[in-house]
Structure 1
Amino acid sequence: MRVRSLQGDTIDALCHRHLGRTVGVVEQVLELNYGISLHGPVLPTGTVVELPDLTTQTNRAEMRPLFQLWN
């Protein structure tokens, strides 16, 4: 999916607005958009950004055992 940045947008903001999350997605966006980090943390208005398709990926949450200090 291709989106355009609004004034003051960061990659995090784009991911959260269009995909609903940022964990693990920001790294994918940086891989899909070679050189986008050269713009700095705030993207210029109107920058076209390719976002990953999360519907084809599985949501693999890691299950960790609960660790309690006191029983």
Structure 2
Amino acid sequence: MILYTVMPHEHIYPQAEQASSLELVSWNGIPLFAEREEHRYKVVRIISTDPSHYLNEQVTPGQFISF
């Protein structure tokens, strides 16, 4: 099987301890991998094909977002 994707191997086939910490969330239409910390999320990675999403300073990796 051939899998064509921009996703890293660790996200497609995560190990047990990594799978529990990351969540795929959508914030204002921007798909993100984020870690839950109390009542907010910490952005880990942007998962989008729209280049303008990467220019949004509110969702750069390391930023905290809330819903």
TM-score between both structures, scaled by the size of structure 2: 0.23
- Which structure has greater strand proportion? 2
Q: Name the structure, 1 or 2, with higher relative contact order (CA <8 Å, separation 6+).
A: 1
- Which structure has greater helix proportion? 1
The structure that has the greater radius of gyration is 1
TM-score between both structures, scaled by the size of structure 1: 0.23
